[in-house]
Each structure stands twice: as C-alpha cells, then as structure tokens.
Amino acid sequence: MWVSPTPPQKKKKKKKSHQVGIEQAVLHRQQSLPHRPVIPLVARMADQNTSGTPAMSEREASRLDKFRQVLAGPNTDLEELRKLSWSGIPRQVRPITWKLLSGYLPANAERRESTLQRKRQEYFGFIEQYYDSRNDEHHQDTYRQIHIDIPRTNPLIPLFQQASWQEIFERILFIWAIRHPASGYVQGINDLVTPFFVVYVFEYIEEEVENFNVSSLQEEVLRNIEADSFWCMSKLLDGIQDNYTFAQPGIQRKVKALEELVSRIDETVHCHMQQYEVEYLQFAFRWMNNLLMRELPLRCTIRLWDTYQAEPEGFSHFHLYVCAAFLVRWRKEILEEKDFQGLMILLQNLPTMHWGNEEVSVLLAEAYRLKFAFADAPNHYKR
Amino acid sequence: MSGGAELGFTEHLFKVLVIGDHKVGKTSFVKRYVKNQFYEELKTTIGVDFSMKVIDWDSHTRVRLQLWDIAGQERLRGLNRVFFKRSSGALVVYDMTNGSTLDGALNWKHELDSQVMLKNGRPIPAVLLANKCDETKVCRRNASLLEKLCQEKGFIGWFQTSAKENINVDEAAKFLVKHILQNNEESVKEEEQNMQINLKQQSKSNSTCC
C-alpha cells in the first residue's frame, strides 16, 4: 500500500545489490501475504555498511582509526569522543563507546575493570536480594505485567523468543521497576533494553545474530551483558523518568512542545492536521514513550542512539527535535491525505522499513538544524 | 456523524473504542475483525492503535468504523478523555481465563460513562466481550452472572468471543453497530422534531411580525 518515498540504499556498494533485492522481496512479501515475515532487523542491524562485507571504505577505516586513537589513551577525552560519535559509531567500538558516553564506565582506563566488576556485583546483589520477591503480593502485579510483555517486546525477531533471553529481560526490568517505585514498570520501557542488549552481545560474537543461540555464550559473558545492559538502561531512564511517572507528565509536555514546534517550522503541515482534527497525542505519544523505536527498524534506533548519547540531553531534549524533523519528513505524504483516518493510518505506519544509516543521518542533521534555529528563539518552547 | 443521503444511499462514520485491561486480546480482536488475521504474539499497544473497517450494512447503507484500540495499562487516566471523546460505541474486553480482568472491564465501563455520553445524556452503547473463549467455557452460572452484570452496569449485551478461533467476532461488532445505527436514527428524529418545533415557533413569531 505504501510506496517508498526514497529509493532503498542508493549509494550502496554493488556487492550489496543482491541483498537489497532480497530486502525488497521481503518488503513486498510483507505487503501481499497475510503471514508475518521474518524481517532481517538484526542481521543488518549493527552497521549495515560494514557488517557482512570484508571491505571497509577508506572513510570508514579512518573513522574507526580515530575512535581507536581516542579510546587508546589512559584517560579518554569524552568531549572528543562525543564529537566523533555524533555522526555514528563504528560497530567495532560501539560497546565501549556507549558505556563511556552513558557514564557507566569511567574515562580513566585504569579504573574501568574494577568499576565493571563492582557494578556487575552490585547488580547481581540486587537480584539475590529482590528477585525472589517477584511473587510476593506487593510485587506480583509488576512481575506479571513484565512477564506478559517480554514475549511481546520483539515478536518479529526469533532470537528474542529464546527462553534464556526472556529471563534476562525479565530480571533487568523487574529490578529496575522495584528500585524506581515512582514510575514502576510502564509499557514501553521493555523496548528500551533491546538496543543495549544487542549492542553488548556484539562485543562477544562475530557472526550475524539472527539465528544465534544464546546458550552458546559462556554463562559469565551473558551475566556481564545482562548487568551492563541494566546499568546503561538505568542511566538512560534517569534522564527521562517523568515520561513514566503517574499520568506520564514528561510525555504530555513533550507532545505539546512538539505541536508548538511543528506549528512554527511547518505551518502548512500543522494546519492540515488541525483541519482534519488529528491530535498530536494520538500518534506522537508512542514516539515519545518508545523513543521512536516503534517507528524505525532496530538498526536505525541503534544509530540514532549513537547521537543521543553524544548529544547533551539527547534522550530527554534532542529527541523532540528529531520527532519534529521526522514528522515534517513526511510532509508530502501527509498533505496528500485528505481525511482523519487516512492521516492516522499513515502516521501510525510510516514506511521506514528500508531505512538505514543514510536516512537517519539526514534526519539527525535536520533535527540539529531545528535545534539550532529554534532553541534560542524568544517565544519558543523552553524546558 | 452521518453522510448526506444521496439517492437513498447513506454513509455513516462512527468511532468505536476497544478498551479493557492489558493482554485481554483487544488488538487481536481488532486484527481479526479488520484483517481476518491472528498472531500469537503482538507488540503491546502504546497509546492508541487506529484502524478502519468498512461495512456494507445493507443495499443503501454503508458504515465506516474507526476502531480505537486503547492501551490497557492504567497509567494515563488523563489521556482517556482525549481518546474517548466523540465515540459512538465501545467494545469492552476481558480475558475469560483471567478473572480479575472482568473487574477491570467494569472499571473501564465506569470510566467510559464518566467521559462520554449520547446527546440525550444516555450512556453510549457498549458490548462486553468475554474473550479467549477457545481456552475455557462459560458455565451456566457464569452466563447468568454476565447477564446480570450487563443489566446492572448498562452494557447492551455480552458475547463470548475468540479472536484466535474467529468466534463471534463479526457478530459482536454487528450487534454494536446495529445499536449505534438505532441511536443515530433516534437522534436524527429528535433533531428533526426539535427543528420542526423551532420552525413552528419561528413561523409563529414571523406571523406576529407581519
């Protein structure tokens, strides 16, 4: 039903054209068959320009070199690392870079190993202390909801249907929820574990993850990935906690801010939606609650988060500009819809399945431009 | 909400809410009804999922249903007002294999009635759906309990349904649409009557004027 607005991966190397063909076939199949296809979300997830192809472009190689240089010293220059990371982090150094940027790992290289050990012990201490209480009366509702939601987190990816992964996700979410009673577990938070987990698994495996069997990882390794994912997700959520407290005030405020921002940057689109009585809350609630994860393929979310972690207040503030850029990106399609239902169905099913790094980079550049242009405007929304 | 009658053909547009606790099968019900598909696992609904169903009701009536599938987690009481407004009917779903979701359904019904009503002040028609009936059976005692609940809580009726096995999905929706259409006719009549009264009054005042 949806025609792709941009040709898929135009600049891709020739070697890849075969893969693009497969993807288009998958795309096509999804539209015509009633059966749910397995979409290669994970296979090409980490870094589509390098994964699976032995040859790296010169530019990519030199970027990786720069990262390695910054990461090599006894004290990592976090400012420098942020600057480099803003335009995307090479797959090979993504795990350590994410851990540094989120503040989980110290800049001082000597202290890293002991920090990791301490934090991992601390997390498993929580498990020992709290996890048995999941069936207690005052926690069982939380646990039950998490337990129900885990298989519904990534139903398209067979990997995430494996029992041992699901147990890990349950533990991470349960411990986080009971340690944050002001919000507790809110649907949507379950999505936010996935990018960390997938990125940290890549630290230990070379192959594609699509059909990867979890139990082939050493238990110790799996425990490390679990603890690291927990802490990094916690850091992320610390910055956006009012998204998830009662009545979700953070989200309501951001949706309002989005509406105001769009009315300033593209009055035509804004008025068009008003004319057909589309309210921003009806579609953008999910954009804020799940940080666009429901609107983009996983590989794009991971690329997006490279920048969010490099940008000051990336998840809590810059995301707003990304959402505005994302909405206006579909201006042509939006203006073509001439009734409420057409608009809603479009806005809830934006055709991004073929998106990759290029599309995300364009989106981020536009968001940056908006932030720059509007952040200091006198009447503009301010936090 | 109704389109103009041209050559005796009428098109209606109605907003129908699908509400109930989480994981009772709201999204599955909608997917079965709209696309005739069923998935074992669906992503949790965040906020609201929107879909459309067009029904050729009879040779001179077409009904377009806007289905608003509302996230089940109770977190956003304030938002329900935004999502509920101007709805013409509701499907209130509970999971037959999980008794506490029936209490949940009654709470949702209460919430619904406090947020929206028909022009004449009556509650909007709502059908209670006992979903996942493929996994269990309604015993006679349950059936009479549900009957009683419907009367007490103002549901227009109840159905045991299965989105998985496609049991009573169309029937329940049809039952609701029938009531919505009846309400619609009544309110059109009422409006016409009001208009005639107004016209009479107007012509009276006009005549005194002349």
Among the residue ranges A68-77, A97-106, A293-302, B134-143, the one predicted with the least confidence is B134-143
Q: Tell me the nearest-neighbour CA distance from A214 into chain B, angstroms.
A: 21
Residue A253 shares a structural domain with residue A227: no
Contact B105, B94 (CB under 8 A): yes
Cα of A155 to nearest chain B Cα, Å: 6
Of A238, A267, A299, the last residue of a domain is: A238
Map residue A154 onto helix, strand or coil. coil
* pLDDT recorded at residue A78: 97
Contact indicator for A344, B50 with CB cutoff of 8 Å:
yes
Chain B residues with CB inside 8 Å of A285's CB? 46-48, 79
Is position A213 within any domain?
yes
| Statement to judge: residues A135 and A258 lie in one domain | no
- Determine the Cα–Cα distance for residues A312 and A92; give it in Å rounded to an integer: 23
- Across the interface, of B22, B52, B73, the residue whose CB is closest to A341 is B52
Residue A36 domain-assigned (yes or no): no
Give the C-alpha separation, A286 to A350, whole Å. Answer: 13
With an 8 Å Cβ cutoff, is B23 touching chain A?
yes
Question: Is A259 found in the same domain as A352?
Answer: yes
Query: Which pLDDT band holds residue A177 (cuts at 50, 70, 90)?
Result: very high
Rg of the Cα atoms in chain B? 19
- Most B CBs within 10 Å: which of A31, A185, A187, as the mutation test of the B interface? A187
A211 and A265 in a single domain? The answer is: no
Q: Which residues of B touch A283 (CB under 8 A)?
A: 47
Domain membership of residue A208 as a residue range: 89-238
Domain limit, last residue, from A213, A238, A263: A238
Task: Give CA separation, A151 vs A146, A154, A168, A169, A225, in Å.
Answer: 9, 7, 12, 10, 19
Using CA coordinates, name the residue in chain B closest to A190.
B44
| Structural domain includes residue A2 | no
CB contacts of B71 in chain A (<8 Å) are 187
Q: Which residue has the tokens 């002349």?
A: B210
A277 plus A207 within the same structural domain: no
Q: B75 contacts in A (CB within 8 Å)?
A: 186-187, 246-248
For residues A152 and A186, state if they share a domain: yes
Helices (H) and strands (E) in chain B, counts: 5, 6
Q: Which of A166-180, A305-319, B89-103, B183-197 has the lowest mean pLDDT?
A: B183-197
Residues of A in Cβ contact (< 8 Å) with B23: 148
Residue of B nearest to A247 (CA): B76
Mean pLDDT of B113-125: 92
Q: Does B49 touch chain A (CB under 8 A)?
A: yes
Residues A195 and A276 in one domain: no
Nearest CA in chain B to A36: B39
Identify the closest residue of chain A to B69 by CA–CA distance.
A282
Flag whether A84 is in a domain.
Answer: no
Whether B13 and B1 have beta carbons less than 8 Å apart is answered as: yes
Q: Do B47 and A282 touch (CB under 8 A)?
A: yes
Residue of chain A whose Cα is closest to the Cα of B53: A341
Q: Are B50 and A348 in contact (CB under 8 A)?
A: yes
- Across the interface, which of B48, B64, B75 has its CB nearest the CB of A248? B75
B1 reaches A (C-beta below 8 A): no
Provide the token pair at A312.
């000051």
Are residues A184 and A316 located together in one domain of the fold? Answer: no
A222 and A256 fall within a common domain: no
ipTM here:
0.86
Q: What is the average pLDDT value for chain B, to the nearest integer?
A: 88
Residue A327 has pLDDT above 50, yes or no: yes
Do the chains contact at B51 and A281, CB–CB below 8 Å?
no
**Predicted pLDDT at A158:** 76
Assigned token pair, A103: 């503040």
Give contacts of B77 with chain A, Cβ < 8 Å.
247
| B149/A contact by beta carbon, under 8 A | no
Same domain, residue pair A279 and A314: yes
| Single-letter residue type at A284 | A
- Looking at the structure, tell me whether residues A106 and A230 fall in a common domain: yes
Q: Is residue A31 part of a domain?
A: no
Of A148, A247, A289, the CB nearest to B47: A289
Number of domains making up chain A: 2
pLDDT for A5 equals 41
- How far is Cα A315 from Cα A10, in angstroms, rounded to an integer? 30
Burial of A11 (0-12, 13-18, 19+ CB in 10 A): exposed
pLDDT at A209: 64
> Is A220 contained in some domain?
yes
Q: Does the CB of B53 have a partner CB in chain A at under 8 Å? A: no
Q: Say what the pLDDT of residue A117 is.
A: 97
Domain boundary residue, one of A238, A262, A284: A238
Q: Is B74 on the interface with A (CB under 8 A)?
A: no
For residue A165, give the nearest of A194, A188, A144 by alpha carbon: A194
Centroid of chain to Cα B130: 15
Q: Verify whether the Cβ–Cβ distance B46 to A187 is below 8 Å.
A: yes
* Residue A29 within any structural domain of the chain: no
**Is A56 in contact with A50 (CB distance < 8 Å)?**
yes
Say whether both A147 and A276 belong to one domain.
no
Q: Which of residues 343-382 of A touch B (CB under 8 A)?
A: 344-345, 348
Instruction: Give the number of other Cβ atoms within 10 Å of residue A366's Cβ.
Output: 18
- What CATH number should be reported for the domain holding residue A372? 1.10.472.80
Instruction: Give A348 to chain B, closest Cα distance, Å.
Output: 7
Rounded to 5 degrees, what angle do the CA atoms B87, B120, B146 make?
Answer: 65
- By the 8 A CB rule, do B91 and B18 touch? yes
Average confidence score pLDDT of chain A: 85
B-chain residues near A152 (CB < 8 A): 41-44
Best-predicted range by mean pLDDT among A13-17, A52-56, A90-94? A90-94
State how far the Cα of A279 lies from the Cα of A267, in Å rounded to an integer: 15
More confident residue, B67 or A16: B67
Q: What is the pLDDT of residues A20-63, one digit of tens each?
A: 444 444 444 334 434 434 444 444 444 444 344 456 788 899 99
Helix axes A267-275, A249-265, angle to 10 degrees: 120
Query: Beta-carbon neighbour count of residue B201 at 10 Å?
Result: 10
Residue A165 inside a domain? The answer is yes
d(Cα A237, Cα A102) in Å, to the nearest integer?
11
Structure confidence at residue A207 (pLDDT): 67
